[in-house]
Every structure is written in structure tokens, then in C-alpha cells.
Amino acid sequence: MKKDDIIELDITETNALGNGVGKIDGFVVFCLGAVGGDRVRCRVLTVKKNYATAEILEILAASPDRTEPDCASYPECGGCTLRHIDYECEKKAKRASVEAALRRAGIRGVNVSETVSCSPERYRNKAVFSFGEGLLPGFKRAADEQVVSCEDCLICPGIFTECARFTGEFIKSKYPGKTPEYLYLRINSSYDEMTAVLGLGELTCVEAGDWAEAFSEAFPVCVGIMASDGTHPEDKNTVYRILYGREYINESFLSLKLRVSAHSFFQVNSRAAQLLCKKAALLAAPGDGEFGVDLYCGTGVIGMAVASENPSCFVTGV
């Protein structure tokens, strides 16, 4: 097998990254966009020592688990990988990926539970929008980082798309010819507090201040607006300048009251994160007066959740 070969492939499974998995003479081929049960004609993109990658040219026979994507920007947009797969199939694929990870680690005989389901739509509490031609907001395509415009991202709150569209239209009207680097939005689970960070790109801080004033009037739920000269909001060296309000949102999480800043690592799916932490607290089951350590804890939400659910124990986050 070599690059650019055209092959026909029976897809035996779907992995959690949205790739169909098949074999040619025992050699594994990952085919982006294929679904377990498909038979496809595809072009080989890369050949490695232990596997190859391929792209679909034609679906010869469609899997019963294949579904019509509900977003016009999919699959060009780099924001999603599994919208062409039935949701029940997606949950099975994620469970299978955990089983495969355990096998690779040499851990066998573990019963992996069914994937717990939360809503597959409007669940994200943060997003980073880029701006393409005409300053239309969207997301960068994984293949070449070109911006694919998106009228309404179905995994984000509707207000996110409104904010991104407002920002593009404001800058296009007020400062034609200039393009911001990104718009980074974060909102709490009750949707009553939001922060926004504008990557300056070609804009000055003064121009960003004009946008911030208009933005705060258009979206009163926004309690903090910042500017950044970094190329990505989550780069550890990124410095934020506060243009309006404060840099954090208040979040209720189980019995915890949190302040989540733009810098903070926090699970993007608040409901799923609470289920995760409840399960961690249940499995930890500390006794009265016991001490525990939450290693590599990030902002420490799991350890704090364990402690809050078991107030007689002590947890140190590292």
C-alpha cells in the first residue's frame, strides 16, 4: 500500500475521533468520516509503519449507524467530528475507546460501564470563534486552518453565535480592512454571566475599547470584556487586558461556588462535569477524617467536589 492508492474498504468499527477503522490484508486503515458498517472507496493519504490513513471518495454501501449531519458547516468545520454518526453509536464508540485504551495499557478484565448521556446539543460553556472572509464568524478547518463560517453552532449556546456575528459586523463597519485574531467566550451554567476576550489581531487597544463598549450594551449578560494580543486564548503566555468589568464568571457546581476566569481550565460540558465529579466522589468514598490527594488537579474541581460531598475528609490538590 502506498500514498494515493485507491482502495475499497469494509469498515468494521468507528473510533471516538470519528474515523472508520478497516483492514487490508491485516493492515489497519483509518478512514476519516467513515462509519462502522460502511463499505467505501477511498484514497490513501499517509502510510505509516503500523497503519494508514485515507479519505472517502465514495460510499459504496452505507452503515445503518450513519446519519445525515444536522449542520450545514459539517464536515468542513473543524469543531465537530461525529455529527454523521447516530448518537447511540457515538456513545458505543466512546465506550470502545476506553476499552481499547485499557487493552493497550495491558489492563484486561475490566467491565467498562455504558456511556452516560447528557444533551448532545448546546452543551459547551466556552468557544473560540475565528473570522473569515467578510468577517463572518466560524471555526478553523483542521486540514488547513481556513475559517469555515457557521451560521449557528449547534453545540454552543445561541448567544455565542450572536456575539460572534455582532463582533464581525461591528469591526467590519467601524474599522474596515482590519481583522481580529479571535473571539473567546465563556458562560456559566445558568446563562446569567459571560466573559469575552477579543484577540486583537490587527486592532489597537483603543479600537477594541470601542468594540467593548458597544458589546457590553448589546449583551448585558457579559460581566467582563478583555483584549489579548496572543494568537490563542489558552496559550499560557497570553496576557489579558480588562476593558470592562471583571475577568471571571461565578459558577455554581454541585455544592461549590466557583470563580472561573478566562485562564482557568474547566470542563466545557458543565452537566457532564458534575456527573463526573459525583461519580469520583462516590468511588473515592473517604471515611471520616481521612486524607486524600488530587494529583495533577488543574483548578482542583474534582478534589473540591470529593471534599464538598464528604465534609469530614481532607483533600490536598497538587
Which residues face 21 on adjacent strands? 13, 30
More confident residue, 207 or 83: 207
118 band by pLDDT with thresholds 50, 70 and 90:
confident
Mean pLDDT of 92-107: 91
Give the pLDDT band (50/70/90) at residue 44: very high
Query: Based on the number of CB atoms within 10 Å of its own CB, is 99 exposed (0-12), middle (13-18) or buried (19 or more)?
Result: middle
Q: Say what the pLDDT of residue 16 is.
A: 79
In this prediction, residues 214-221 reach a mean pLDDT of 98
| Residue 69 burial (C-beta neighbours within 10 Å; 0-12, 13-18, 19+) | middle
Residue type, position 297, single letter: C
**Are 40 and 30 spatial neighbours (Cβ–Cβ below 8 Å)?**
no
Nearest to 178 by CA among 139, 208, 148, 147: 208
pLDDT at position 257 is 92
* pLDDT score recorded for residue 149: 92
